[in-house]
A and B are shown apart, each in its own frame.
Chain A
Amino acid sequence: MISIDIEKKLKAYSGQQWLKINREFATGSITQIYGPSGAGKTTLLKIIAGLVQPEKGTINVDDILWLDTASNISLSPQKRMTGFVFQNYALFPNMTVRQHLEYATNDTQWINRLLTIGKLETLSTHKPDHLSGGQQQRLAILRALAIKPKILLMDEPFSALDPKMKTALIEELKLLFAELKLTVLIVSHNPMELEGLCDGEMVIGTEG
């Protein structure tokens, strides 16, 4: 169970806005997050991952306190080890596909399985600049899964995939999410995009 109660000041053209979230996510749930641009969807994921600090709040994961601003507790991103799929993929230009996964884990069998799921076996020696947008996005997803996280945070993870590839990948990921008992939060602009994958949704708005 993930329990989040946070408040974060957001900078916007229209002035100051507040991102206020008070919500629980059951273990193993897959939640789609949507809302208007600038509402703080990406910021929420980064707060959970420990990459951004909120002004106020707590995050509790399976009875472990990850964040409590009142007590100055904040686990580092390294300790939280959330799988994170960045909107811009954040792939390492100096590493090949396989090296990305080897950087995350030493488990060769797991790496090979991920490469098969992402249909990147034949491209394992390629660097990101020799991959298409869709292939880069798949690699970003595989890298996040390589550490076998408890929580997977995905920011627009399927935007560059063609419909056929997306459907096939989502089917594979559903099985994988269940196997790893992953709690997944997926930010997506398109509520229809993730049909059949998510079992819950969350709309983020802001308060001025």
Chain B
Amino acid sequence: MELSPIWLTLKLASITTLILLAICLPLAWWLSKGRSIFKIILEAMITMPLVLPPSVLGFYLLLAFSPQHGIGKWLHDTFDIQFVFSFPGLVLASVIYSLPFMIGPIKSALQQLPASLAQASYTLGKTERQTFIRVLLPNIRPSLFTAIVLTFAHTLGEFGVVLMIGGNIPNVTRVASIAVYDSVENMDYATANTYSLILFCITFVMVMGVFIFNKAHAKSPLE
């Protein structure tokens, strides 16, 4: 049995989580401050991967980034970049697909913090950035941890989106969930079981980690 689908899956989940963390911290902070019609539209767009069938999202990504059409053609002709059937394509699809899992917990945690925390920091002469890093972020640690683990675990289990945009190329786009499907198709149940068991164990340990960490922080100092 090849272990490359497991390593590829872990690599994909790690890169996706890091990229989403960098994007979602400032984005969630901005979204948590006030409301506007533009923010509502953006939030609806971010939430779409939660309700859309993954194959639909994968189909549109495939269309958008196909080297024969639109953005995909431009990227291919200008920078010689191809997202379809490549690892960068998997990363792009995973970032879009897992976006709501990262942004949701962070945004709600920021919204639940009393507004006076940030206001107190401003009156002490601190900038919005200093306030975010020194006051707001440290006080949403449990939610931040939940968001990171959920995003990582969710990326581990992706199937429809990665299959549509990445296909099933060994060592390039063949992640564990696709390897399970492929093994079942070939009636190789032992291999399918091994991949499934490894995915199950990794995910279970991570979810347990969230419960243990959040239990330790059960009594919020804000309560």
Partner-B contacts on A (CB < 8 A): 46, 49-51, 76-78, 80-84, 86, 88, 90-94, 103-104, 127-129, 143-144, 146-147
**Interchain nearest-CB distance for A61 vs B (Å):** 14
Q: Tell me whether A88 and B116 are in contact (CB under 8 A).
A: yes
* Complex CA–CA separation, A192 to B100 (angstroms): 53
Q: Tell me whether B114 and A94 are in contact (CB under 8 A).
A: no
* Complex CA–CA separation, A127 to B221 (angstroms): 9
List of A residues within 8 angstroms of B117 by Cβ? 90, 92
**Interchain nearest-CB distance for A105 vs B (Å):** 9
B135 within 8 A of A: yes
B34 within 8 A of A: no
* Complex CA–CA separation, A147 to B222 (angstroms): 24
The contact of A90 among B120, B125, B138, B220, by CB within 8 Å, is: B120
**8 nearest A-B residue pairs (beta carbon):** A93-B221, A90-B116, A94-B138, A129-B221, A90-B120, A77-B122, A84-B123, A104-B124
List of B residues within 8 angstroms of A128 by Cβ? 221
List of B residues within 8 angstroms of A127 by Cβ? 221
Across the interface, name the chain B residue whose C-beta is closest to A153.
Answer: B123
The contact of A92 among B125, B127, B139, B219, by CB within 8 Å, is: B139
Could you list some 14 contacts between A and B, CB below 8 A? A50-B122, A51-B119, A51-B123, A78-B125, A84-B119, A84-B123, A88-B114, A90-B114, A90-B116, A92-B117, A93-B220, A93-B222, A94-B138, A103-B124
Q: Tell me whether B123 and A81 are in contact (CB under 8 A).
A: yes
Q: Tell me whether B139 and A78 are in contact (CB under 8 A).
A: no
Q: Tell me whether B222 and A78 are in contact (CB under 8 A).
A: no
* Complex CA–CA separation, A121 to B121 (angstroms): 23
Q: Tell me whether B116 and A92 are in contact (CB under 8 A).
A: no
Across the interface, name the chain B residue whose C-beta is closest to A79.
Answer: B125
B126 within 8 A of A: yes
Partner-A contacts on B (CB < 8 A): 114, 116-117, 119-127, 134-135, 138-139, 219-222
**Interchain nearest-CB distance for B1 vs A (Å):** 46
**Interchain nearest-CB distance for B127 vs A (Å):** 7
* Complex CA–CA separation, A29 to B114 (angstroms): 31
Q: Tell me whether A51 and B122 are in contact (CB under 8 A).
A: yes
Q: Tell me whether A77 and B119 are in contact (CB under 8 A).
A: yes
Q: Tell me whether A84 and B120 are in contact (CB under 8 A).
A: yes
List of B residues within 8 angstroms of A46 by Cβ? 119
Other A-B contacts than A103-B134, A127-B221, A144-B123, 14 sampled, CB-CB below 8 A, are A49-B119, A51-B119, A51-B122, A77-B119, A78-B125, A78-B126, A84-B119, A86-B120, A90-B116, A92-B121, A94-B138, A129-B219, A143-B124, A147-B124
List of B residues within 8 angstroms of A80 by Cβ? 123
